[in-house]
Amino acid sequence: MDKKTVLLISIIVVLAVALVYSVSARNNAKTGGTSSAVQPTAMTDNFMKPHIPAELTDSQKAELKAGAADHSATSLTFDVTGGSFYFAPNEIKVKQGDKVTIIFHNVGGTHNLTFTDFGGLATKTIQRGQSDTIEFTADKKGTYEFYCGVGGGFHRMMSQIGVLLVS
């Protein structure tokens, strides 16, 4: 045998020994614990590791944006009944961007429904049996009082008030 052949055989032997050693070391590790236990597969092992969520694709971003736009177009109508001196319901909940319609029905006395916000929005002052409607966009989050503006503040003082909650 020439030197080259000897070198080649030496390399093959070293690699074979290294391979046998690593396989036997792995088997020893397996049998070192509970030998009957099922070893997790590579897939399960990988699945159990924490994952970093993938960034949204362009189509997912577009869908999300469209969904948000849909919500801002939500139109909600509330029938609010009023008398001396109350509103029912006296709490209205909407989401920012909702188009809100309030139909005020007067069932006793002379009343209106007035907001200090939303540009001083108010129904007409109406009599028992009449109704009037106001429409606006709840464009800002917060808690907004509405009240009856009849009687120079008297009806309001008598707790003819309510709240609009915009979240």
Q: Summarize as ranges the residues that interact with Cu ion (CB under 5 A).
A: 111, 148, 150, 155, 160
CB of 61 to Cu ion, least distance (A): 49
Using CB atoms within 10 Å of the CB of residue 76, give its burial: 0 to 12 exposed, 13 to 18 middle, 19+ buried: middle
CB of 69 vs Cu ion, minimal distance in Å: 38
For residues 134 and 138, which CB has a smaller minimum distance to Cu ion in the complex? 134
- Closest approach of Cu ion to the CB of residue 118, in Å: 19
Nearer to Cu ion, 127 or 167 (CB): 127
Select from 133, 130, 131, 114 the least CA-distant residue to 122.
Answer: 114
Quote the least distance from Cβ 65 to Cu ion, whole Å. 44
Task: List all residues 6 or more positions away from 156 whose beta carbon is below 8 Å from its beta carbon.
Answer: 147, 148, 149
Report the alpha-carbon distance of residue 67 to residue 22 in Å, rounded.
55
**Closest distance between Cu ion and the C-beta of residue 140, in Å?**
26
**Residue 105 or 111 having the CB closest to Cu ion:** 111
Q: How far is CA 98 from CA 108, 142, 164, in A?
A: 30, 13, 12
Q: Which is nearer to Cu ion, 126 or 166 (CB)?
A: 126
| 114: its two tokens | 């007035």
Spatial contact of 144 and 164, defined as CB atoms under 8 Å apart: yes
Closest residue by beta carbon to Cu ion: 148
Q: Identity (one letter) of the amino acid at 57? A: T
Of 98 and 123, the one with the shorter C-beta distance to Cu ion is 123
